[in-house]
């Protein structure tokens, strides 16, 4: 089937015992990275422990993709904030002036292209748009001193520490329950959310490099929610694991 984004999905059953054994043997010593959906894995693990014993509940459906696959893309998910009163706007402006080099750009400016190095993003509200570049990576190092080194190079982590939590005072609960906070899948939707008044400002981000995803996972920490948007996506519901 072809979905609304033009991705073709093909599904087939493999009942060849030799082929299944070959896959099992090939993966026996492999390290698998949960690059998306760790919360689903954690829920499945807790459920398995609650049931106890052996059975279908000890297995979870997964899609395995080579990180080196040229067809694998990672897109950013942009951040939206609301409820910005005068004090919070002043705190945000002060943090931007202190930590970032700010260059005015057109409000139609797209999100920054893929890249590495210190955090770079586009900030926009109803009045202006600014391209922001972190003045020095040492700022991120200090703000995230308790996190592993790869995490301190993660745009979503640095943005969260310096501006979302640091300047605007958002909490983990605010972010997880979308209190005065939201997401946009692309720059156009982010601008519409601000222009319509649903949110006061948007932060347009670069995509997270696949290599950095691997490094952060190896360091044993989770990234902030929606740090990656892997594409193409499998359609939900192609397979079910009957547990009854």
Residue showing tokens 């459920």: 47
pLDDT at 27: 92
pLDDT at 106: 94
Give the per-residue SS3 of 85-97.
CHHHHHHHHHHHH
pLDDT at 72: 87
**How far is the C-alpha of 87 from the C-alpha of 232, rounded, in Å?**
41
Q: What is the mean pLDDT of residues 223-232?
A: 89
- Which structural domains are found in the chain, ordered by start? 73-218 (3.30.1760.10)
Q: What is the mean pLDDT of residues 50-60?
A: 91
Task: Examine the pLDDT at 90 and tell me if it is beyond 90.
Answer: yes
Task: Examine the pLDDT at 116 and tell me if it is beyond 90.
Answer: no
pLDDT at 73: 87
pLDDT at 97: 97
**Distances, alpha carbon 111 to alpha carbons 76, 89, 92, 96, 232, in Å:** 9, 22, 20, 18, 20
pLDDT at 56: 86
Query: Using 50, 70 and 90 to split pLDDT, how confident is the model at 240?
Result: confident
Lookup: tokens for 125:
């509200």
pLDDT at 67: 84
**Distances, alpha carbon 202 to alpha carbons 100, 112, 171, 192, in Å:** 16, 13, 17, 10
* 8-42 residue pLDDT tens: 999 999 999 999 999 999 999 988 888 767 778 88
User: Which residues, at least 6 apart from 140, have a Cβ–Cβ distance to it below 8 Å?
Assistant: 118, 119, 134, 152, 153, 158, 161, 162
Using a pLDDT cut of 70, give the percent of the chain over it.
100
pTM assigned to the model = 0.86
C-beta separation of 202 from 123 below 8 A: yes
First-to-last C-alpha distance (Å) of the chain? 29
* 159-205 residue pLDDT tens: 999 999 999 999 999 999 999 999 999 999 999 999 999 999 999 99
**How far is the C-alpha of 89 from the C-alpha of 99, rounded, in Å?**
15
Whether omega before 207 lies within 30 degrees of 0, making that bond cis, reads no
C-beta separation of 79 from 203 below 8 A: yes
Q: Chain-wide mean pLDDT for the chain?
A: 92
pLDDT at 71: 85
User: Which residues, at least 6 apart from 174, have a Cβ–Cβ distance to it below 8 Å?
Assistant: 180, 181
Three-state DSSP at 168 gives coil
pLDDT at 148: 97
pLDDT at 151: 97
Q: What is the mean pLDDT of residues 118-146?
A: 96
């Amino acid at each position: 089937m072809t979905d609304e984004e033009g991705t073709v999905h093909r599904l087939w059953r493999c009942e060849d015992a030799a082929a299944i054994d070959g896959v099992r043997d090939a993966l026996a010593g492999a390290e698998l990275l949960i690059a998306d959906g760790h919360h689903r894995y954690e829920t499945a693990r807790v459920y398995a422990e609650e049931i106890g014993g052996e059975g279908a509940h000890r297995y979870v459906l997964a899609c395995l993709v080579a990180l080196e696959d040229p067809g694998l893309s990672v897109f950013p998910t942009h951040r939206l904030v609301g409820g910005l009163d005068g004090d919070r706007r002043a705190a945000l402006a002060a943090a931007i002036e202190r930590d970032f080099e700010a260059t005015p750009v057109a409000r139609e400016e797209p999100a920054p292209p893929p890249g590495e190095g210190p955090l770079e993003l586009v900030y926009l509200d109803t009045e202006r748009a600014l391209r922001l570049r972190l003045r020095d990576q040492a700022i991120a190092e200090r703000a995230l001193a308790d996190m592993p080194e790869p995490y301190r190079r993660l745009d979503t982590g640095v943005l969260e520490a310096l501006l979302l939590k640091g300047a605007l005072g958002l909490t983990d609960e605010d972010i997880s329950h979308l209190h005065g906070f939201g997401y946009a899948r692309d720059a156009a939707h982010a601008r519409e959310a601000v222009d319509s008044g649903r949110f006061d400002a948007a932060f347009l981000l670069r995509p997270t490099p696949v290599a950095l995803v691997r490094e952060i996972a190896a360091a044993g920490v989770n990234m902030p929610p929606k740090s990656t948007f892997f594409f193409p996506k499998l359609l939900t519901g192609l397979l079910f694991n009957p547990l009854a």
